[in-house]
Amino acid sequence: MPLGVVAPSCIQCIGLANPASRNVAKHMDAGDLHRLMKEAAPGHSVFWYQEVYAPPSGQAVTTHMYTHQGALEYFDYAQHLSKNIIAEGKLQHFHNFGEAWSMVHRSKAVVFVDNHDTQRGEALLSYKGSRYYEFANIFMLAHPYGYPKIMSSYYFKNFNQGPPSASVHGQNGELRCGGHPSHVSGRPGKPWVCEHRWPSLANMVRWRRTADAHNVDKFWAKDGNRVLIAAALALAFSSTGMEGNGGR
């Protein structure tokens, strides 16, 4: 489809939606996409982030082709984070988490533990990982690397299962959410996970807004199972005693 046809549609969407836009960038030439982004948002301040599920080098399409024009939905982040949370005694390795791990610059990364593409496949952690998954999201929100994104999903039993027939909100406004990270399967009348509503994650979003993206001033994880992060505000948490097996 010509750029002159696509751009007006993007302008209308941006005018109606929040000033952020995600695009499946890998399937478009980086130069064409850059021109489209410039034409689509005249007079608007848009936070563009792009889905480029590709290695940094070695293939015809790489992540570095797109970083100059916006942030990336950064799949590598979840792998680095999750495997070191699942393994016992690895938290001390996060003392220099970020660019020192050969990840893209923090300003170019939209980070997540799982998303709609990975939740049923390669994600090492999802809501079914119970408290390990909760811990990973807490760390993501506490640490200043990247722009964090929290999953909000529904309970499922098999790969191809579609969404519930019941909406998230009932006729009287009641929520049909599982409500707690220990609930790894749906309860009667509550088929939605609503991870973003878990009290721990909702509170951490507020903490992130207050601490912003300040650099880590102090980091302590002496035994590898407990960590203290100070970045404008101090936060301490522990991976010991968590329920669940860390599986998908």
CB 166 within 8 A of CB 176: yes
Residues 144 and 127 reside in one and the same domain? yes
> What is the model's pLDDT at position 8?
52
175 with 216, same domain? yes
**Same domain membership, residue 132 and residue 238:** yes
* pLDDT tens sequence across 146-178: 999 999 999 999 999 999 999 999 999 999 998
| pLDDT tens for each residue of 60-101 | 888 888 888 889 999 999 999 999 999 988 999 999 999 999
Boundary-marking domain end, from 12, 47, 73: 73
Same-domain check for residues 238 and 148: yes
| Residue 69 shares a structural domain with residue 84 | no
Decide: 206 and 200 in contact? Cβ < 8 Å: no
Say yes or no: 26 and 101 in one domain.
no
Q: Are residues 195 and 232 in the same domain?
A: yes
Helix axes 3-16 and 30-40, enclosed angle (nearest 10):
50
Tokens 């999201």 correspond to what residue?
Answer: 137
Domain that holds residue 32: 1-73
- Of 73, 97, 131, which residue sits at a domain end? 73
